[in-house]
Amino acid sequence: MQSTHAGPQTPPRTLFDKVWANHVVVAREVGPSLMYIDRHIMHDGSFHAFRQLQARKLTVRRPGQVFAVPDHYVPTRGRLVSDAASPEIAAMLTQFEQNMEWSAVRHFSLQDHRQGIVHVVGPEQGLTLPGAMLVCTDSHTSTHGALGAIAFGIGQSESVHVMSTQTLWQAKPRTLRIALNGVRPAGVSAKDVVLAIIARIGADGAVGHAIEFSGEVIRAMSIDERLTVCNMAIEAGARCGMIAPDDTTFEYLHGLPHSPHGKNWDAALARWKELPGDEGSTFDREVSLDARQFAPMVTWGTSPDAALPITAVVPDPLSMADTQTRAAASAALLYMGLTPGMALTTIAIDRVFIGSCTNSRLSDLRAAADILRGRRARVPGMVVPGSGLVKAAAEAEGLDRVFIDAGLEWREPGCSMCAAMNGDVAPPGVRMASTSNRNFVGRQGPGSRTHLMSPAMAAAAALTGHLTDVREWMRA
Residues 6+ apart with CB under 8 A from 241: 142, 145, 146, 210, 211, 212, 213, 229, 230, 231, 232, 233, 234
Checking if the pLDDT of 182 tops 70, the result is yes
CATH superfamily of 298-472: Aconitase, domain 3 (3.30.499.10)
Per-residue pLDDT reduced to its tens digit, 1-32 = 344 455 556 899 999 999 999 999 999 988 99
Instruction: Report pLDDT for 29.
Output: 84
Checking if the pLDDT of 277 tops 60, the result is yes
The CATH architecture to which 16-286 belongs is 2-Layer Sandwich (3.30)
Provide the residue ranges of all domains of the chain, joining segments of one domain with +.
16-286, 298-472
On average, the pLDDT of the chain sits at 96
Per-residue pLDDT reduced to its tens digit, 135-174 = 999 999 999 999 999 999 999 999 999 999 999 999 999 9
Q: How far is CA 19 from CA 15, 130, 473, in A?
A: 6, 9, 43
Instruction: Report pLDDT for 201.
Output: 98
Checking if the pLDDT of 230 tops 70, the result is yes
Work out the average pLDDT over 206-226: 98
pLDDT band at 475 (very low <50, low <70, confident <90, very high): confident
Q: Could you tell me whether strands 24-26 and 174-181 are parallel, antiparallel, or unpaired per DSSP bridges?
A: unpaired
Please indicate whether the domains covering 16-286 and 298-472 agree at the CATH topology level: yes
Work out the average pLDDT over 278-299: 97
Instruction: Report pLDDT for 350.
Output: 98
Instruction: Report pLDDT for 268.
Output: 98
**Phi, psi at 404, each rounded to 5°:** -65, -45
Q: What's the CA dihedral at 50, 51, 57, 60 to 10 degrees? A: 0
